[in-house]
Amino acid sequence: MPTLSSFVLIALGVYAFVFLLLALVQSSKEFKQQPLADQERARKTFRWSLISLPFVLAGTYLLLLAPPEVMRMLPVFIYLLLSGVALWLLWRSYRLGVRRDERLVKSLSGKPLRNAKALVRTFALANFMLAAGYIAILIAIPALRLPLNSWAPLITIMSSCYSLFMWHQERKNAA
């Protein structure tokens, strides 16, 4: 287990690396060629990541110091968090599919898509399928007694499929 001083040095190194990486991205030619609205949206995201990173690093250190009882509660917290995400996705698919809320038809970067009216049903189905996948994982965890180290790959696979689908819809809509 790292000491506080070594962890602070590691945390400062991670923070400096992320800061330099974000500065490098913002100074690149490709970044400067983006529309100003996209640049500002990216800068806002970068600012929030730099603001939240110290809290994440401090939380990591606190988890390293946590007693075993707290560590046993971590899977329960992750399970409840995944349940919340699944419910949010179901609510989102309801708003898209039943209420036809075109404001939710956006690209991965958050920009509204041109042909939102035609894509509402497709996005509703995609959100519903992702929610159903998460619910299947939530059911499989206690039923099959999946270990904690297998949860992340399953969630990542489903989220990646959803992201690829959204990226495809964005590309198709742009053409």
pLDDT score recorded for residue 159: 92
Residue 166 has pLDDT above 80, yes or no: yes
> DSSP 3-state assignment of 125?
helix
Alpha carbons 84 and 92: distance in angstroms, whole number: 12
> DSSP 3-state assignment of 69?
helix
- Region 142-148: what's the mean pLDDT? 92
- Per the prediction, the chain carries an average pLDDT of 88
- Region 127-152: what's the mean pLDDT? 94
> DSSP 3-state assignment of 113?
coil
Residue 2 has pLDDT above 70, yes or no: no
| Three state DSSP letters for 5-64 | HHHHHHHHHHHHHHHHHHHHHHHCHHHHHCCHHHHHHHHHHHHHHHHHHHHHHHHHHHHH
Query: What is the chain's Cα-based Rg?
Result: 20
Residue 174 has pLDDT above 70, yes or no: no
Could you read off the pLDDT of 78-107 as tens digits, one per residue? 999 999 999 999 999 999 999 888 888 887
Class of residue 145 by CB neighbours under 10 A (exposed 0-12, middle 13-18, buried 19+) = exposed
- Region 127-146: what's the mean pLDDT? 95
Could you read off the pLDDT of 16-28 as tens digits, one per residue? 998 998 888 889 8
Residue 163 has pLDDT above 70, yes or no: yes
